[in-house]
Chains A and B, each alone.
Chain A
């Protein structure tokens, strides 16, 4: 069975004071190959935990994850990660960062050189490939992170708020780049974000999660990502249903946040 299957995932761990945290409860989901899923939710809803389990950095207490029929037990190059920031290797040049995966797999430069150079060009880093990481702006660093992930040709790309640390303008440009690369490569992508707009623009499917315990609250199938691939992202924002869906989701998340606040006020 192809695609990514998340089956009845639960995650519960003990705290030093004897109580416990139910980070995820019975999360099930199936993602077909080439789908782009964005995940939204208030802080503490377990979206990053979910991503870390899919990446193989955490083990769930119940349930399982299967990718293309085999189960996931640890990190692997079939599931690439793009982090918010700080995941690049400062002691390597841009090109060495991007070619890290193939090089670690023991491949010769002849095998990866063309692909890496192509990715550098696509991400607009062609002129910067010999620069040091600390010489790049935040937006460029995230492009390096994207290119590095793609250079390894993973089946699934997991993005943990990849654009969260960027300014609004750079962020818009990068959203376009993510869509473009998604269409070009046909990768399955899970994107965690805090921004409702970003989730709407990029997510072919959109998952809203609720906190305490972390669970799936509502799922959407959205047309905006497909519109954005060929068109202007700002035109997409004027499209039918965009504003209404955004308000609906914002309202949903606001209610959850207020519930959390109310609960913590009761406690204190």
Chain B
């Protein structure tokens, strides 16, 4: 239900901001692409609208804050909160003889996750007596209304209406106070209006995540500070990738340059390539335990096949005329490898390295989820066991940020080292 509302709000902002921005902002650029009249179908003319990117990110945080009642955003933007406070409803009791009597139930609803204090009320007159109910927001409570009534369910008495609306075993109803249903044994089940906000157990507000960030950065979590958790994950990735590239690239070259290694390693590489690194985690634990060693070997394997294939396709991507030209100019095999094949395969190797780093980063998190005492993946796994959703969210945000950062760095290095990529 809330999901559909959020989707609706999101779509409305998407369309609304598009109309608003196109109406308000005129493109200042007047370059060649801006002068193209055919853009629908010309992919090269499609450029990301920076306004859309900014509004997109703001929208995510706005919706997050709004549906969690965050105090980072003004109250009027909040989605309706769950009911907290005092309310009453009346129920109509009918005994076995068909006589009816009304009684009032006084309800006190506490904050989310906090049950209101128990209290007593005067029972009042008649066959049905008034009750008191203490509960917490968004929760469902079962009221054994007949504990103090003169006619009980054992005598054949039953509830036939709430606030005047008929109710039955198959008929649940909704009143101003909330939702009502009858349990199998005839007791009243009551849920006060839960509003549209998310339970912090499922989605904590942004400030909870921010506070966790500073808390873990300064005090640590499970014995390690935040930078140690992230640092150890990064270290594993870099170490695994380093060894994967160190062995994978020469092997890939060998496969691209000679028949025997090509034939020898082809079946192994083709077999191992489709095996997801995650499927190797159990084997790595059996063979190498749960310490650093098993994780780094796992990441080595994750990077290894990717780098072999990248180096091999880098060699096969060398335009044969370049090699012929180099031979005709008197270059030796070693010189051709060093001067022609290696530089020519650099773009492919960089592409492979970017993929490998991405896979390694994903794999390290998964490996830490399964075993370990530190690391970004361990952090979110441990937190999830104690339902500390804010730490889980914090971990996911940091993992995403670091993964993105790695890719940006790799792309910068690529531009610096292979400026001719895609321009020959």
Q: Give the interface of A toward B (CB within 8 A).
A: 55-57, 74-77, 79-81, 83-91, 100-101, 104-105, 132-134, 145, 148-149, 152, 154, 158
Contact = CB atoms under 8 A, between A and B. Distances in A.
Given A90-B420, A90-B423, A104 B330 contact: yes
Contacts of B321: 83-87
A148 B420 CA distance: 20
A30 to B, nearest CB: 22
A83 B344 CA distance: 18
Closest CB pairs A-B (n = 5):
A77-B330, A75-B327, A90-B420, A134-B423, A101-B329
B291 to A, nearest CB: 42
Nearest to A91: B343
Interface in B315-374: 319, 321-322, 324-332, 335, 339-340, 343-344, 346
B324 A104 contact: no
Interface string B18-30: 0000000000000
Contacts of B332: 104
A174 to B, nearest CB: 18
Contacts of B344: 91
Nearest to A74: B327
A57 B325 CA distance: 10
Contact of A81 (B328, B331, B340, B423): B328
A104 B420 contact: no
B340 A105 contact: no
B49 interface: no
Given A83-B321, A86-B321, A91-B344, A133 B328 contact: no
A105 B340 CA distance: 15
Given A55-B324, A86-B424, A134-B424, A152 B340 contact: no
Given A86-B424, A132-B420, A134-B423, A105 B325 contact: no
A133 B319 CA distance: 15
A26 B324 CA distance: 25
A77 B327 CA distance: 7
Contacts of B346: 91
Interface of B: 319, 321-322, 324-332, 335, 339-340, 343-344, 346, 418-420, 423-424
Contacts of A86: 319, 321-322, 424
25 contacts: A57-B324, A57-B327, A75-B324, A75-B327, A75-B328, A76-B328, A76-B330, A80-B329, A83-B324, A83-B325, A86-B424, A88-B325, A89-B322, A90-B424, A91-B346, A91-B418, A91-B420, A100-B326, A101-B329, A101-B330, A104-B326, A104-B330, A104-B339, A134-B423, A152-B329
Contacts of B331: 100, 104
B420 to A, nearest CB: 4
A81 B329 CA distance: 8
Contact of B328 (A79, A88, A91, A132): A79
Nearest to A55: B328
In this complex, the member of A89, A105, A145 whose beta carbon has the largest number of chain B beta carbons within 10 angstroms is: A89
A145 B329 CA distance: 11
Nearest to A90: B420
Q: Is chain A's interface secondary structure helix, strand, loop, or mixed overall?
A: loop
A152 B322 CA distance: 16
A91 B343 CA distance: 7
B330 A105 contact: yes
A87 B335 contact: no
Contacts of B330: 76-77, 101, 104-105, 152
A87 B322 contact: yes
A85 B423 CA distance: 13
Given A86-B319, A104-B330, A148-B329, A81 B324 contact: yes
A81 B325 CA distance: 6
A74 B324 CA distance: 11
Nearest to A75: B327
Contacts of B324: 55, 57, 75, 81, 83, 87
A154 B423 CA distance: 30
Given A86-B319, A87-B319, A77 B328 contact: yes
A124 B420 CA distance: 23
Given A77-B329, A104-B326, A148-B329, 6 more contacts: A55-B324, A80-B328, A81-B324, A91-B420, A133-B420, A149-B328
Nearest to A52: B324
Nearest to B319: A86
A89 B340 contact: yes
A181 to B, nearest CB: 17
Contacts of A91: 343-344, 346, 418, 420
Nearest to B336: A104
Contacts of B328: 55, 75-77, 79-81, 149, 154, 158
Contacts of B418: 91
Contacts of B343: 89, 91
In this complex, the member of B319, B327, B328, B335 whose beta carbon has the largest number of chain A beta carbons within 10 angstroms is: B328
A95 to B, nearest CB: 15
A155 to B, nearest CB: 12
Contacts of A89: 322, 339-340, 343
Nearest to B340: A89
Contacts of B420: 90-91, 132-134
A104 B325 CA distance: 12
A87 B325 CA distance: 6
A28 to B, nearest CB: 24
A99 to B, nearest CB: 10
A198 B132 CA distance: 105
A91 B331 CA distance: 16
A78 to B, nearest CB: 9
Nearest to A152: B329
Contacts of A76: 328, 330
A135 to B, nearest CB: 9
Contacts of A158: 328
A149 B343 CA distance: 21
